[in-house]
Amino acid sequence: MMKPDDFEFVSRLIKSKSGLVLSQDKTYLLESRLMPIARKRGLKDLTELIGALRGGDRNLVEEVVDAMTTNESFFFRDTKPFDQFRHVVLPHMIKARAPKKHLRIWCAAASSGQEPYSLAMILDEFKSQLAGWRIDIIGTDISREILNKARAGLYSQFEVQRGLPIGLLVKYFQKKEDQWQISSDVRSKVQYKEFNLLEDFRPLGQFDVVYCRNVLIYFDQPTKSDVLARISALMPDDGFLFLGGAETVLGISDKFKPLARQRGIYQLNRPGAPDVDLTALEKVQAGAAAGAAAGAAGGAAAGGLAFPKPKHMQTGAGATAGSTARPAVGTTGTATTRPGTATSGTQATQRPLGGTSSTTRPTTGTGTTGSAFSRPSGSTGTGSTTRPGTTGTTGTTGSTYRRPLGTGTGAGAGGTTQRPGTTGSSNTSGSSGTTRPSTTFDRSRFGKPDDKK
């Protein structure tokens, strides 16, 4: 267990080196990330590790800071910032930068490179309009190790499936044993530099577009304000800033203002900030919203970039045989099914191998009115509830309800309770028959025990 004064020392060290703020409730996080470093260096425990930090071991300090920074990233993360880039920022820049044909983009805290490579793939879609242009994409991060991974452009199957459309995987990646490598052409469009956001930004030069997403959330208020002020100093009047979904400039900096009706994208709060056309973007967003509302499945929403949803996640009006839903006995409306089911009409919520127009588990069966619930294997009755091996009962109206074992036919129910191997009876009113395993339970069939005669 880390001592309070050791925690204070390490948290101050990490903040001074990276800006990352660790509150006392993050002790567990600190311990879990530092213990592997202690073991790798052959140190007995965290006390020895912190002793080495106090001694000023610079390589160890770098390892500790690297271990504490979050390197979470994936392709086309959150979709919206990339739709905004494609439909708002690029059209504006293609017009505004036409005389000099030069565009500079900075991805601060670029991590393993998915963000800058996502932008590079979008820019490749516009190559006919950007012929003769010079495009600079600079990706920076505090971690040397993660930047080496970004330069290599090698990603696991899991990493390429997180947000990357299958079409772009095929177009821009090659299989390398059990990994995927982005093409050398795309890699060549991005430059990576080791850089700390607490340092002076001016050596980086000016940028038209800055992505600084999901990094300010780790800073305290004064550091956030300082970083935003220094970013604004690098940008022309018509520049654009992108922040993460949980980040904002409101109440932190007056250097930027939100773009009208859009979240996560900001303009400079200067007289020269242009009015931009949001028509194309809002059309795409409206289409995506309509698709989501309709439950459209089997591919990315309009303007979105993602693998098709797995079948078990597809729901709503767009679902077909193979879509998913859990049983809801007696529900009405369009049928939704798990893989392997067949549906017809309405009034059905089904699991595999089910019948039609009923609520079923794996089996067959049809209900015409009311609701029916069938159990697995071998049941062939319609509108009834059956156990394995039964023929079942037929009900045309009312609903099916499984009675407790040992009960007979209820008043006006017209149903029977059966065990396997029996043939059920038909009823035309009230509740439809219900079957249980074994034969019909009838007390009159049994005499008194021999010792009671």
Q: Is residue 382 part of a domain?
A: yes
Which pair of tokens denotes residue 310?
């797995």
Query: Tell me, what's the pLDDT at 317?
Result: 44
Q: Which of 45, 68, 91 is the last residue of a domain?
A: 68
Alpha-carbon distance of 267 to 238, in angstroms, equals 7
User: What are the tens digits of pLDDT across the range 353-377?
Assistant: 343 443 444 434 444 444 444 444 4
Q: In terms of domains, do 245 and 96 share one?
A: yes
Task: Tell me the one-letter amino acid at 193.
Answer: K
Query: Tell me, what's the pLDDT at 289?
Result: 83
Query: Tell me, what's the pLDDT at 424?
Result: 44
Query: Residue 111: CA atoms inside 13 Å, Cβ hemisphere, count?
Result: 19
Q: In terms of domains, do 149 and 235 share one?
A: yes
User: What are the tens digits of pLDDT across the range 100-130?
Assistant: 999 999 999 999 999 999 999 999 999 999 9
Average pLDDT, rounded, for the chain: 76
- CB burial string 301-322: b at 16+ within 10 A, e below: bbbbbbeeeebeebebeebeee
The CATH number of the domain where 212 resides is what? 3.40.50.150
User: What are the tens digits of pLDDT across the range 135-161?
Assistant: 999 999 999 999 999 999 999 999 999
pLDDT-based confidence at residue 66 (cuts at 50, 70, 90): confident
Query: Tell me, what's the pLDDT at 430?
Result: 42
Alpha-carbon distance of 274 to 290, in angstroms, equals 30
Q: Which of 246, 268, 290 is the last residue of a domain?
A: 268
Q: In terms of domains, do 172 and 49 share one?
A: no
- Tell me whether residue 431 is exposed, middle or buried, using C-beta atoms within 10 angstroms of its C-beta: 0 to 12, 13 to 18, 19 or more: buried
Strand partners for 192: 139
Residue 273 has pLDDT above 80, yes or no: yes
Q: In terms of domains, do 136 and 224 share one?
A: yes
Alpha-carbon distance of 147 to 162, in angstroms, equals 19
Q: In terms of domains, do 26 and 112 share one?
A: no
Q: In terms of domains, do 37 and 95 share one?
A: no
Alpha-carbon distance of 82 to 76, in angstroms, equals 6
Dihedral sign for Cα 435, 438, 441, 442, please. Answer: positive
Task: Tell me the one-letter amino acid at 304.
Answer: G
Which pair of tokens denotes residue 345?
């009409």
Query: Tell me, what's the pLDDT at 44?
Result: 86
Q: Is 116 strand, coil or helix? A: helix
Q: In terms of domains, do 227 and 348 share one?
A: no
Q: Is 358 strand, coil or helix? A: coil
Task: List all residues 6 or more positions away from 141 whose beta carbon is below 8 Å from its beta carbon.
Answer: 71, 109, 110, 111, 147, 150, 192, 194, 195
For the segment 46-74, the average pLDDT, to the nearest whole number, is: 86
Task: List all residues 6 or more positions away from 222 whose beta carbon is below 8 Å from its beta carbon.
Answer: none
Q: What is the chain's length? A: 453
Q: Is residue 273 part of a domain?
A: no
Q: Is residue 54 part of a domain?
A: yes
Residue 342 has pLDDT above 70, yes or no: no
Q: Is residue 388 part of a domain?
A: yes
Is the model more confident about 331 or about 285?
285
Q: What are the distances in angstroms from CA 183 to CA 174, 186, 412?
A: 7, 5, 74
Q: Is residue 285 part of a domain?
A: no
Residue 346 has pLDDT above 70, yes or no: no
pLDDT-based confidence at residue 294 (cuts at 50, 70, 90): confident
Residue 344 has pLDDT above 80, yes or no: no
The C-alpha R_g of the chain, in whole angstroms, comes to: 32
Task: List all residues 6 or more positions away from 395 whose beta carbon is below 8 Å from its beta carbon.
Answer: 367, 370, 372, 382, 383, 384, 415, 426, 427, 431, 432, 433
Q: In terms of domains, do 249 and 197 share one?
A: yes
Alpha-carbon distance of 10 to 18, in angstroms, equals 12
Range of the domain at 42: 4-68
Q: In terms of domains, do 197 and 236 share one?
A: yes
> Which stretches does DSSP call E strand in 300-423?
336-337, 349-350, 359-360, 373-374, 417-418
Q: Which of 388, 394, 449 lies closest to 416, judged by CA?
A: 394
pLDDT-based confidence at residue 4 (cuts at 50, 70, 90): confident
Q: In terms of domains, do 343 and 205 share one?
A: no
Q: Which of 245, 268, 291 is the last residue of a domain?
A: 268
- Split into its structural domains, the chain has a count of 3
The continuous run of DSSP H or E covering 266 comes out as strand 265-268
pLDDT-based confidence at residue 58 (cuts at 50, 70, 90): confident
The continuous run of DSSP H or E covering 225 comes out as helix 221-232
Task: List all residues 6 or more positions away from 240 whose beta carbon is below 8 Å from its beta carbon.
Answer: 88, 89, 208, 209, 210, 259, 265, 266, 267
Alpha-carbon distance of 88 to 108, in angstroms, equals 21
Query: Tell me, what's the pLDDT at 117?
Result: 98
Q: In terms of domains, do 120 and 250 share one?
A: yes
Which pair of tokens denotes residue 236?
């022309």
Is the model more confident about 360 or about 271?
271
- pTM for this one? 0.63
The CATH number of the domain where 20 resides is what? 1.10.155.10
Q: In terms of domains, do 64 and 184 share one?
A: no
pLDDT-based confidence at residue 297 (cuts at 50, 70, 90): low
Residue 427 has pLDDT above 90, yes or no: no
Which pair of tokens denotes residue 445?
């069939």
- CB burial string 243-278: b at 16+ within 10 A, e below: bbeebbbeebbebbebbeebebbbbbeeeebeebeb
Q: What are the distances in angstroms from CA 29 to CA 39, 51, 55, 66, 67?
A: 16, 19, 23, 14, 10
